[in-house]
Structure 1
Amino acid sequence: MKANSAGSIFDTLRRTTEEATMCKDCSRNTISRRGLVAGGLALTATASFSATASAQTEEPSPASADEALQRLKDGNARYVANEPIYTDHSHGRTLRSLGQQPFAAVVACSDSRVVPELIFDQGPGDIFVVRVAGNFINEDGLASLEYGAAVLGVKTIVVLGHSSCGAVDATIKSIQSRELPGGHIPSLVNAIRPAVYDVMPQNPPDLLTAAIQQNAKLNAEKAATATPILSGMHSSGEVGTAAGLYDISTGKVEFL
């Protein structure tokens, strides 16, 4: 599907949602090939869910990117203080089965110690998570974020790096040794390499931390400038982007 602008793509997604919701029993009918391509199947539940989504967390959806980011910051403060409010994950399960309306998207590392919902003290359905070792954004990640922003309505995108990131460390060692690791890991190294090259000339006292921070910044910038959808939504203020560094030992997220 070829579109001339972010607006036309966004309009197509919205029209597909409206067409899909005209039928209450869409799940029993045949879905057209065009509907599948446009994402109509996934949008049906989303549209019916939007009116009641606030009941899921008993907290109104953020009205702006700044409000969405502040909600994540407030949640992280609760997490650090060990005062979480989202502990009953069975609450709202039936309502969530109708669809999803996350208010934020988080690009996180696959590291098992990095759990965005816990880190930001949010409930199921609140955060749209894209995960890959090294928390970088590739084509698949961009497509996921476009879906989250244009279809699901997330207000902010956070690229979350973390302390002691093994993927970034492997990239540094690969550059220093001039050897690539085996298997498919070189694809991760090549994606993270630009961040390491950016900070190496500065001879930072902690190269790993500096590279982790720069990697998060570069990918947050990528999310903000990716055409045609995210860049347009970012320019209009519909979506905000931020880079953060999660300290595994303290639980605190520092926004860069």
Structure 2
Amino acid sequence: MSGPVTDESRPTTPAQAWAALLEGNARFVRGEMLHPSQGIDRRAQLSAAQYPFAVIFGCSDSRVAAEIIFDQGLGDAFVVRTAGHVLDTTVIGSIEYGVEVLGAPLVVVLGHDSCGAVAAATAALQHGELPRGFVRAVVDRVIPSIVNLHGPDGAGMASVDAATLGHEHVRHTVQMLQGYSVSLAEAIAEGRCAIVGVEYTLADGRVQLTEAVGTIE
């Protein structure tokens, strides 16, 4: 596959979907974006139905806009975003909708470096610093991903770099999705879907595979 996704070339397997996203990210990194599926005709075509080829579950960070960094357009990606890509039941339900109802063959957990939610969870473990209001709920959901790196009391935390913490949070989120969702686990077992965890680097715009459940090759 090369170039933008069209109705005729829409990926139908996890491997095809992953390849299309990698190609789009390569265009973004080179600064040669095609900005596909963003015209008047495409908008009209999608008014009746949508058939995204990927579900992208990412962080709400304003610097990590999924359609942009993968150079995709309207109708290509079903995007779910929360601060720190933290899971709850409505998020899992949204992801299941993208796979079971809309037929997307790939789920992407999109993390990134310099994540404020991961940094806040680290501060909570290390120094007992907790944010006010409902922001604390975000931190509470990141902590289980990284606490085992430091021990329950945060011992040894200072020796773990931020990249390792972010990597672990992405990996843990992928595992939680597979473990909590029966329908996603079944789709993976049947080869209809795969889940990948990727990490995005803010400075150069590249995504790197961290974790994969299911076949993407």
When normalised by structure 1's length, the TM-score is 0.74
Q: 2:188 aligns with which of 228, 234, 237?
A: 234
CA distance in 2, matches of 1:66, 1:198: 32
1:153 and 2:100 correspond: no
Q: Deviations over 1:6-46 (max 9, x none)?
A: xxxxxxxxxxxxxxxxxxxxxxxxxxxxxxxxxxxxxxxxx
Q: Deviations over 1:86-136 (max 9, x none)?
A: 256224110011111100011111111111001111111101111000012
Is the contact made by 1:199 and 1:210 (CA closer than 8 Å) also made in structure 2? no
Is the contact made by 2:96 and 2:183 (CA closer than 8 Å) also made in structure 1? yes
1:163 and 2:117 correspond: no
Per the alignment, residue 134 of structure 2 pairs with: 184
Per the alignment, residue 69 of structure 1 pairs with: 18
How many correspondences in the alignment? 202
Structure 1 pair 60/180, CA: closer, same or farther in 2 (3 Å)?
same
CA distance in 2, matches of 1:174, 1:117: 32
Structure 1 pair 100/56, CA: closer, same or farther in 2 (3 Å)?
farther
CA distance in 2, matches of 1:227, 1:95: 32
Percent of residue pairs identical: 33
Structure 1 pair 235/225, CA: closer, same or farther in 2 (3 Å)?
farther
Structure 1 pair 244/226, CA: closer, same or farther in 2 (3 Å)?
same
Is the contact made by 1:117 and 1:123 (CA closer than 8 Å) also made in structure 2? yes
1:218 and 2:172 correspond: yes
- Pick the structure with more helix per residue: 1
Unaligned 5+ segments in structure 2 are 211-217
What is the Cα-based RMSD across aligned positions, in Å? Answer: 2.0
When normalised by structure 2's length, the TM-score is 0.87
1:57 and 2:11 correspond: no
Is the contact made by 2:37 and 2:74 (CA closer than 8 Å) also made in structure 1? no
Write the letter of the residue equivalent to 1:234: I
- Per the TM alignment, residue 177 of structure 1 is displaced from its structure 2 partner at its CA by 1.2
Q: 2:77 aligns with which of 122, 127, 135?
A: 127
- Per the TM alignment, residue 228 of structure 1 is displaced from its structure 2 partner at its CA by 2.3
- Per the TM alignment, residue 203 of structure 1 is displaced from its structure 2 partner at its CA by 5.9
Is the contact made by 1:136 and 1:215 (CA closer than 8 Å) also made in structure 2? no
Which stretch of structure 1 is more off in the superposition, 94-103 or 219-228? 219-228
Secondary structure of 2:203's aligned partner: coil
- Pick the structure with more strand per residue: 2
Write the letter of the residue equivalent to 1:245: E
Write the letter of the residue equivalent to 1:187: A
Q: Deviations over 1:41-87 (max 9, x none)?
A: xxxxxxxxxxxxxx983551112111111111111111101111125
> Which of these two proteins has the greater Rg computed from alpha carbons?
1
CA distance in 1, matches of 2:133, 2:52: 35
1:81 and 2:35 correspond: no
- Per the TM alignment, residue 175 of structure 1 is displaced from its structure 2 partner at its CA by 1.2
Secondary structure of 2:85's aligned partner: coil
CA distance in 2, matches of 1:118, 1:227: 28
Q: 1:90 aligns with which of 20, 39, 43?
A: 39
Q: Which runs of 4+ in 1 moved over 4 A?
A: 201-206
